[in-house]
Amino acid sequence: MSFRRNPIIAVILVAFALGFTVSGADQRGGFVDLCAFTGANLTDHFLGLYCLNDATEVFSYNYTWINLDYCVGNNAGTLVSYENGAYSGTCTNCTIAHDATLELTCSCWDMDNHHVTSTLDLNGTIYDADGSAACYAHKGNKTWEP
């Protein structure tokens, strides 16, 4: 499994070994320190990621998928963090990209029925719930790497 040798994951492993605790994660946002962007996958409105488990002995990279419609809305052409926002009904051509954080960019309908491009920093919305990507009270599922 070549992803075990990925440098990003190696950095996370070191952080974990130094006593970084997943349970201390903010309940809204903050996932970028706990989930690896390598392998992040946006399929329709589902985001797939590798996130850390609490228990070191089960620190194998289970993958998680979360339905971003639970997390993101379209406020008149601007992507916003919003519970059950269902952005995908009024936004299209969505992509994810990362530098220090993970960002969702879409083309969304505004009040004048035009499509405008909008970007949302998902670190303000998604958190790591013991290996599941989550937002608000919604937890993504856990599965093995795709």
Binding residues (CB under 6 A) for ligand NAG: these are 26, 29-30, 32, 41, 43, 46, 48, 58, 60, 62, 65, 92-93, 100-101, 107, 115, 123, 141-144, 146
Q: Which is nearer to ligand NAG, 65 or 87 (CB)?
A: 65
Report the nearest approach of ligand NAG to the CB of residue 93 (Å). Answer: 4
Q: Which is nearer to ligand NAG, 46 or 83 (CB)?
A: 46
Report the nearest approach of ligand NAG to the CB of residue 141 (Å). Answer: 4
Report the nearest approach of ligand NAG to the CB of residue 24 (Å). Answer: 11
Residue identified by tokens 């004048």 is: 112
| Residue 31 CB contacts under 8 Å (≥ 6 apart), including other chains | 25, 49, 51, 102, 122, 123, 126, 127, 128, 133
Q: Which is nearer to ligand NAG, 30 or 75 (CB)?
A: 30
Element housing 14 (H / E): helix 7-17
Q: Please choose, from the candidates 121, 125, 61, the residue with its C-alpha nearest in 3D space to the C-alpha of residue 97.
A: 121
Q: Please choose, from the candidates 84, 35, 89, 96, the residue with its C-alpha nearest in 3D space to the C-alpha of residue 62.
A: 35
Q: Which is nearer to ligand NAG, 59 or 75 (CB)?
A: 59
Report the nearest approach of ligand NAG to the CB of residue 120 (Å). Answer: 12
Q: Counting every residue, how long is the chain?
A: 146
